Amino acid sequence: MGAAGAPFNFQTPPLFQVIVALFFKLFGRNDFLMALISITFSCLTIFILYHLGKMLYSEEVGLYAITFFVTSEYFLFFSQSGLSDATFTFFSTSSLFLFLRALRSNRTRDFWIAGLLTAFCLYTKYSAAPIIVTFLIIGILNRYAINRHWFVTTIVLPLIIFVPYISSFLFTVSPIEIGVRHIPLLGLNHLKYAYYLLIFAPVPFVHALIHTCFGRWRHDKFAVYLLIAVIVFFVVLGFYHPYFRLAYPLVPLLSIFAGSLVASLGKSKYYIVAISIFASLMLSLGTLRYTTKTPRDVASIVDRYTITKDTAYIYSLTPPNIYFYINGEIAVPSTHPWYRMGKRFPWLLRNRLILEKETNVLSNEKRILLVHATVFDTFKDEYPNVYDKATLVDNIDYEDAPVYYKDIFNPLRNTQQSYEFYLLSEKDILQCLDQLWNLGFEREVKVIYVAP
C-alpha cells in the first residue's frame, strides 16, 4: 500500500518522518498508523499538561486545563490528523514542563532532560526556535539562583545536537533557495494568529486573556514564566506566514491559564466549565463529523488505469496524503536535495529510481497518467502543452477538512476543489515530450513508477 520512498526534502526536520518510518517498520504500512501516532502523542500531551498545571497551580487547575485543551477544535483536529503537529506539541510542552520543574528542583538531571526534549523539538519543526529563546530569557532572570549547568544543558546541548542536521541542510539546500522560499513568507501576522486561536481554541484563548488582564498571576513567578513562554512563541510566530497549525502548541499553555481562572471562581465554576465544554464542542461540530475517503478513491482510480492501461509512470500533482496511497516507487529527480545528499552519501540512493534531467526516458512510454489537484492549477498555465494534449478521463470533487474553510486567510477556502485524472497516449507524449519531462522536476510534482 502506498507510494514507497518519498525522498526527504528538508521542508521540515526529519524526526517525525523517522517516527512514522519506525511505526511502519514495526506494524506495516497502514494509514491508520498515521492517526495512531497523532493519538499517541496527543494522549502523552494530556498527561504532561495535567502535571504542568498541577505543578504551577494545583491538581484542580491541571484537570481544568486538560478539559479545555481536549475540547478545543485544534485538539480535535490534530489529535487524529496524522500530521506532525501533535508530536511537536508534545515535545514543546514537555520541554517547558521539564525546564520549569528543573527551576524548582535545581536538579541537573531535569535540565538535561529538558535540553534533550528541546533537541527533539528542533528536529520536528523549525518553529521550535522560540523555545530556546524562552529558556534563555527565564534562565537570565534566574541567573543568581539557577543551577550553573542550565545554560550548557538547555541551550548549548540542543543546538549541538541540531548542528549535524542544519549543516546538512545548508550543504544540500543553498541559502539562495532558502531565501527564495521563506523571505516572501515573512510579515506582521500577529493579529492573524490571534484570530486562529480565537476561532479554533476560543475557550482557552478568551479565558487566558481574562486571566492575564485581571488575574493575580503577577505574584507567582512561575506563572510569569509560563506567560513569557506564550508571549515569546506568539511574537516570533507572528512574523511568519499565517498557517493556522503553527499556533497549536500555544493551546495547552493557554489552557493552564484558563484552568487557573476558572478554579478561582467559586461555585459558579462548574457552570462555566459545562458551558465552555458545550460551546467548544458545538463550534467544533464540523470537525467532529468530518470523514473522508477521497485519498482511497483517488488511489482506486489510479490503480484502475495503471492495471488496465499499461501505464508505468504517474505524475502526481497532489498533497502528500494522496501519493501515500498510490502504489509504486517515487523517483528521485537529479534536481532534488535528496539527490545532492546522495552524491555525498551514495547509500542514500541505493535501489532508487533516479531521473536525470539530461536523459528523457519518456519517449518510449505508451501512456502516462497525470493526477492533478486543482490547488496546483497554476501548472496548467506554466505547462499548457501538456494539459492541452492530455485527455481528462476522470474527476473527483471533494471537501477538505472544515478547519481549512474556517481559515479566512486560506486563499482556496471558497474554491471548489477536485482531483482530475489526465491520460496521455503515446502520440500525446511525443508532442509534449520536453514539457512533460520538465514538469517532473518541479518541486510540487512526484513522479511515481509502477513496475510492469
Q: What is the largest CA-CA distance in the chain?
A: 78
Q: Can you tell me the distance from the alpha carbon of 408 to that of 381, in angstroms, rounded to the nearest whole number?
A: 26
Beta bridge partners of 424: 368
Q: Read off φ and ψ for residue 83, nearest 5 degrees.
A: -90, 175
Q: Are strands 417-425 and 391-398 parallel, antiparallel or unpaired?
A: antiparallel
Question: How far apart are the two ends of the chain, measured CA to CA in Å?
Answer: 16
pLDDT of residue 245: 94
Q: Which residues of the chain fall short of a pLDDT of 70?
A: 1-9, 217-219, 309, 452
Question: Cell digits for 336?
Answer: 532534488
- According to DSSP, residue 155 is labeled I
Q: Identify each DSSP E strand in 307-428 by its residue range.
A: 313-317, 328-330, 332-333, 354-355, 367-373, 391-398, 417-425
Q: Read off the pLDDT of residues 272-301 as tens digits, 9 standing for 90 and up.
A: 999 999 999 999 999 999 988 888 999 999
Reading phi first (left if > 0) and then psi (alpha if -120 to 50, else beta), residue 327 is in beta
Residue 356 burial by CB count (10 A; 0-12/13-18/19+): exposed, middle or buried?
exposed
Task: Return the domain boundaries, the chain.
Answer: 3-289, 294-449
- Dist CA 392 CA 383 (whole Å): 15
Cell representation of residue 280:
467548544
d(CA 48, CA 215): 24
- Other residues' Cβ atoms within 10 Å of the Cβ of residue 190: 14
- The residues, ordered by sequence, that sit 6+ positions from 70 with a Cβ below 8 Å of its Cβ are 46, 76, 79
CB of 124 closer than 8 Å to CB of 222: no
CA–CA dist 54, 48 (Å, integer): 10
- For residue 1, what pLDDT is reported? 46
With contact defined as beta carbons under 8 Å apart, do 186 and 240 qualify?
A: yes
Q: Are β-strands 391-398 and 367-373 bridged in parallel, bridged antiparallel, or unpaired?
A: unpaired
Instruction: Give the span between the Cα atoms of 267 and 400, in whole angstroms.
Output: 42
Instruction: State the pLDDT at residue 246.
Output: 95
- List C-alpha distances in Å: 358 to 333, 354, 383, 437: 11, 12, 19, 10
- CB atoms near residue 174 (< 10 Å): 12
* Parallel, antiparallel or unpaired: strands 313-317 and 367-373: parallel
